[in-house]
Amino acid sequence: MTEPLLRLDKVSLGYGDIDVLRDISLDVMPGEFVSILGPSGAGKSTTFKLLTGAANADSGEIRLAGKQLLPTDRPFAFMPQRDALMPWRRIIDNTTLGLEVQGMPRKEARKRVAPLFEEFGLGGFEQHYPQALSGGMRQRAALLRTVVQERPVLLLDEPFGALDALTRNQMQIWLEAMWLRHRWTIILITHDVREAVMLSDRIHLLSPRPARVEQTIAVPLPRARFSHPTARAEAAAIETSILDFLLSPQIREPEGLLP
């Protein structure tokens, strides 16, 4: 049996007297698309802070490829909720930013990024500034900036949350197609139950703060789900079970919300 690429084992974290994560345990397999769902303020984004080194766990262990993750390790490429494109940099230079931060010369970074513009639907826009792009194109540029770093795991924090409903659906369809082609290992944070079901292999459901993994739901639906009639029909039942959990009396939004 294949070993998990990433494993969190009884990880806990608090801020002062606020207990945010308590004994979080979850794993992610190589090439798997996993989502994390939970009530607002439960600590979904805090989990990403642990992985990126922006916060340190009070207890527990994080392992990557069987080895304990060290504070100096940077195996994750992070895409935030907003595209965070710099308006004074052309798209080609926005997409190379992560590589440049790692120390790669701009010329070399451009050579790595340039062949991917057509695949990401950005061909011909390399020399444009972000304000010339639509919301969906800006998100594709942000994802290109993320994946070109060639890190083992991609962390996507509600990447389509700021888009209108139609553009968001188009981006979800596009992301699934790209994932099927490349088989990136992805962890997605989302509040959109439908998005989680249609994109994920498994979904980890968090309890209210202090968060723990309350359920892990497998999504054994055929791909490509957005165009597969059976998948779309069966997804509704999974969505209902998740909503029943999230809206149950035991799942309440905590006071003093944290990310």
Distance CA(77)–CA(151), nearest Å, equals: 6
Closest by CA to 37, choosing from 183, 222, 181, 211, is: 211
Query: If you search the block for the tokens 């390399």, which residue do you land on?
Result: 126
Predicted pLDDT at 251? 58
Task: Give the domain ranges of the chain.
Answer: 29-75+153-253, 85-151
Is the pLDDT confidence value at 216 over 50? Answer: yes
What is the average per-residue pLDDT within 129-136? 94
Is the pLDDT confidence value at 74 over 90? Answer: no
Considering the chain, what percentage of its residues have pLDDT values greater than 90? 66
Which has the minimum average pLDDT: 39-53, 59-73, 132-146, 240-254? 240-254
Which two tokens mark 166? 């139609």
Question: What is the DSSP pairing of strand 76-79 with strand 67-68?
Answer: unpaired
State the average pLDDT for the chain.
90
Is the pLDDT confidence value at 182 over 80? Answer: yes
Is the pLDDT confidence value at 219 over 50? Answer: yes
In our burial notation (b when 16+ CB lie closer than 10 A, e otherwise), range 5-23 reads bbbbeebbbeeeeeebbbe
Is the pLDDT confidence value at 227 over 70? Answer: yes
Architecture of domain 29-75+153-253 in this structure: 3-Layer(aba) Sandwich (3.40)
Distance CA(201)–CA(110), nearest Å, equals: 33
Question: What is the DSSP pairing of strand 6-15 with strand 18-28?
Answer: antiparallel
The torsion angles phi and psi of 77, rounded to 5 degrees, stand at: -105, 125
What is the average per-residue pLDDT within 32-37? 96
Distance CA(180)–CA(223), nearest Å, equals: 8
Considering the chain, what percentage of its residues have pLDDT values greater than 70? 95
Is the pLDDT confidence value at 255 over 80? Answer: no
Is the pLDDT confidence value at 256 over 50? Answer: no
**pLDDT band per the 50, 70, 90 thresholds, residue 123:** very high
Local structure of 33: helix, strand or coil? strand
Predicted pLDDT at 202? 97
Q: Which amino acid is at 181?
A: R
What is the average per-residue pLDDT within 23-40? 93
